[in-house]
Every structure is written in C-alpha cells, then in structure tokens.
Amino acid sequence: MTINDRIEQAAMEFRSQAACEPQYLYLGREEVRALGAWAYQNDYIGTPEFRKGDLEGEHRPEINGLYLMAVNADKHLKVTM
C-alpha cells in the first residue's frame, strides 16, 4: 500500500467515524520520507526529500486537501479535524 493509499484510507475512516471532513494530516519521519520520495518521482518537488523549511509556515504542503504536519516520531499517520 502506497503512502497516498494509506492517507486516503485514514481520511475515509475519519469521515465515516466523525461525519465531517478532516483538515490536518500528521505524519512521522518515515511517512514524510515516503511522501517526499513519491512527490519526487511524480515531479512535484525537485529533491527526493522535503527540505527543513518545506514543512513549516506558509510553505506547508497540502496533501489531498489536508494540511501536512510533521511530528517527532518515527512512525505516525493520523488524520484529524
């Protein structure tokens, strides 16, 4: 299962349980790395990994309409409102 599949599955589960749309996506280091590799392979970014400033402030990316937040954990994937 790709990182995008995992994100979409988590968003669908959130929608069905909370009966509202999610707004935020929290990813751990491994998931951010996988997302960066996917974005590089599909020409969304120019380097295979996100740079430090790419995930902060006004540069924060949106993934499937969800604001990406990087957390200080190796593995983590959670969708919230």
pTM of the model: 0.86
The residues spanned by each domain of the chain are: 3-80
CB 49 within 8 A of CB 36: yes
Q: What is the pLDDT of residues 9-63, one digit of tens each?
A: 999 999 999 989 999 999 999 999 999 888 888 888 888 777 767 777 777 788 8
CA-closest candidate to residue 71, choices 38, 31, 39, 14: 31
> Helix %, strand %, coil % for the chain, to 5?
45, 20, 35
pLDDT of 71 higher than 80: yes
Q: Which of 21-25, 68-72, 77-81 is predicted with the least confidence, judged by mean pLDDT?
A: 68-72
